[in-house]
Amino acid sequence: MPSAEINKVREYWDRQGSADVRPSIEEMRLYDDYWATLTGEPGQVDYIDATVGGVPALWAIPKGAVWDRVIVCFHGGGYMMGSRYSHRKMYGHLAKAVGCRALLVDYRLTPEHAHPAQVDDAVASYRGLLEQGIRPAHIVFSGDSAGGGLAIGAQIRARHSGLPLPSGSMAMSAWTDMTLSGRSYDSNRSKDSVFRREMVGGLVHMLLGAEPDLQNPYVSPICADLRGLPPIYLQVGGDEGLLDDSVMFAERANAAGVDVKLDVFPDMLHSFQMAAGRAPEADDAVSRLGTWARPLLGLAPHR
């Protein structure tokens, strides 16, 4: 049975899904502050504002972190909300679990900045790290929701730009399919009151315009040529509308020869890892991410 602490995540989404009047973008961005309250402070993590590759960012640096390994983190929020501050605690927990620095990238948001601004910023921040001397084998991408799709799409864009790829990526509740073809939008409709085709479709048009290319590989990586991508670890909630974005992506990545791992967490909703530091289910998920990433980055297991 889900813990009382993880049910706070369900209450958060239900509150948004039950609103009688659709909130404005400005009002939705105020939810960033509430999102942050769902996450417990990781403790023993310093935060430093920075600019990397010309993109605003935030370093999350755990005490004793290995300095030359980096998790590049892309926050969720449908490309139109969220920030390095709303997600700093969640990625602070992840940085502690891995034992290295995390760079939270504050990419530009819609509707003020449509595609390709987001993937431009993602690749620019990665290029900035490489120019600082961080080896690609010492970098892992991570992201949640839209940021999870961006963590994968940015690798495809980086490859097309001639950049070396990072050692892997970790995606939580990744939005990978702009065609909205997942059957879980229907099968989980009664469980997920927010992530429904009509709502997500609005985000698609906000990002890509009135005549969108729904198979654009940078924002819809499920449609991309995935051959040659480094290992990918996907986590997704069993009750969320975007479940199939991870399940179908894992199937296609596996068929393309990618080393892909998929964990479906029963009874969980979208980006439930936001409850890290409070809910055992979220802490377990973050711990699994850390265990997966450490050997990929050449780090010994935690004792």
**Catalytic one among 145, 184, 193, 246?**
145
Cα gap 156→163, rounded to integer Å: 10
Q: 219 burial class (0-12, 13-18, 19+ CB within 10 angstroms)?
A: buried
Residue that has been written with the tokens 């080896």 in this structure: 135
Q: Please give the order of strands across the beta sheet that includes 45-52.
A: 45-52, 55-62, 100-105, 66-74, 139-144, 168-172, 232-237, 260-265
Crossing angle of the two packed helices 146-160 and 117-131, in degrees rounded to 10: 60
Residue that has been written with the tokens 């929020």 in this structure: 77
Is 11 one of the catalytic residues? no
Cα gap 80→67, rounded to integer Å: 31
Contact 24, 206 (CB under 8 A): no
Q: Return the exposure string of 76-86: e unless at least 16 CB atoms fall within 10 Å of the residue's CB, then b.
A: bbbbbbbbbbb
- Measure Cα distances from 194 to 10, 189, 191 in Å: 10, 9, 9
Contact 163, 173 (CB under 8 A): no
**Catalytic one among 125, 167, 193, 240?**
240
Contact 231, 259 (CB under 8 A): yes
Cα gap 175→146, rounded to integer Å: 5
Is 125 one of the catalytic residues? no
Residue that has been written with the tokens 């939270």 in this structure: 104
In this structure, what token pair is assigned to residue 260? 């892909």
Cα gap 93→97, rounded to integer Å: 6
Catalytic residues, by residue number, are 145, 240
